[in-house]
């Protein structure tokens, strides 16, 4: 599998990454055998970039990924900071869409001390002393609403500088943001340089809101993009069917109509909508890698096959 460089660093990632939210039992319980099987499928396919987070199953995803990577070399690993875990005060059966997570409570902390505590916890769960890429997770109004101002103050007052120090010490190789919105990326880039942004759902065949400002800024400053949510939480994989989801909720009519148009355009070239979505994400000029996340080996293999087969001659207009 081809690799691409992260920002101005010496880190090179496989152009397809495996996103590990699913192996934290997202939306359904995934047992250890299933988790290890899909990770092995990713590895066998040549994927060498794996992304996880404390948020995914309250530490479950990190622990499972750590067990899988033990003894392996030649991979790139990213995790996230901003959430600090602690032993749960009462039993948790489901939280934030994760079923039977690890029994941990969580609080947000984007200060330097909070970021370092979250980082050290992740290192322990992953069985690593170093993490290649560290993303500041879900900072911004999309997650925090009016409460985000206090989180930004904490991050700008000490969190950003702590990431710089972790990079200078070699504990991390690169840092940036892992978010679902564009404006907070621009705000942080105004404060100081970042190596990479994991942007979910805002540079897709359907939602191109990153194109006017964020993409040109990334290209100008040498900041890479890792694209997540390339199916916009489902609808670009399923098409405009009954019950289709967009942005983690039921798709509104205007979105269903727009997706129907995209599907019809792709159908003229006999290209599945999901295949078009995959190639759109891969061809964006600032993209270092695209995330595929699933607990099913068959789904992962199907998407990798669609990438490998490419688009038929003349079909590039689907992506315009």
Closest CA to 92 of 60, 130, 68: 60
By annotation, the residues acting in catalysis are 51, 56, 80
Closest CA to 240 of 274, 210, 203, 209: 274
User: Rounded to whole angstroms, how far apart are CA atoms 155 and 163?
Assistant: 10
Closest CA to 4 of 144, 243, 174: 174
Q: How far apart are the first and last CA of the chain?
A: 26
Q: CB count, 10 Å around CB of 99?
A: 16
Contact 195, 224 (CB under 8 A): yes
Residue labelled with tokens 């987070």 = 53
Bridge partners for 51 per DSSP: 19, 78
Residue 36 tokens, joined: 């290890």
Cite the DSSP H helix spans in the chain. Answer: 32-44, 60-69, 112-126, 141-144, 148-154, 160-168, 183-191, 214-221, 235-238, 253-267, 273-282, 297-309
């Amino acid at each position: 599998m081809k690799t691409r460089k992260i920002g101005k660093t010496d880190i090179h990632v496989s152009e397809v990454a495996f996103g590990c939210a699913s192996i934290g039992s997202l939306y359904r319980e995934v047992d250890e055998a299933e988790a290890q099987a899909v990770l092995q499928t990713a590895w066998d396919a040549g994927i060498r970039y794996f992304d996880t987070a404390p948020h995914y199953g309250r530490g479950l995803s990190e622990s499972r990924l750590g067990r899988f990577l033990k003894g392996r070399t030649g991979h790139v690993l990213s995790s996230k900071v901003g959430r600090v875990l602690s032993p749960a005060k009462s039993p948790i059966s489901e939280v934030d869409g994760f079923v039977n997570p690890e029994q941990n409570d969580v609080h947000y902390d984007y200060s330097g001390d909070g970021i370092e505590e979250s980082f050290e916890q992740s290192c322990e769960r992953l069985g690593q002393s170093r993490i290649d890429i560290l993303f500041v997770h879900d900072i911004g109004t999309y997650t925090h609403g009016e409460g985000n101002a206090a989180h930004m103050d904490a991050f700008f007052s000490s969190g950003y500088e702590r990431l710089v120090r972790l990079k200078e010490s070699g504990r991390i190789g690169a840092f940036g943001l892992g978010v679902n919105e564009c404006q907070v990326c621009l705000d942080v880039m105004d404060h100081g340089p970042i190596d990479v942004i994991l942007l979910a759902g805002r540079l897709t065949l359907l939602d191109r809101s990153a194109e006017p400002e964020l993409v040109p800024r990334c290209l100008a400053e040498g900041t890479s993009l890792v694209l997540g949510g390339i199916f916009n939480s489902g609808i670009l994989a399923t098409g405009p069917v009954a019950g289709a989801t967009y942005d983690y909720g039921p798709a509104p009519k205007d979105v269903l109509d727009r997706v129907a148009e995209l599907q019809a355009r792709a159908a003229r070239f006999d290209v599945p909508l999901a295949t078009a979505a995959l190639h759109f994400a891969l061809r964006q000029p600032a993209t270092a890698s695209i995330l595929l996340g699933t607990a099913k080996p068959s789904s992962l293999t199907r998407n990798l096959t669609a990438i490998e087969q490419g688009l038929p001659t003349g079909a590039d207009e689907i992506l315009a």
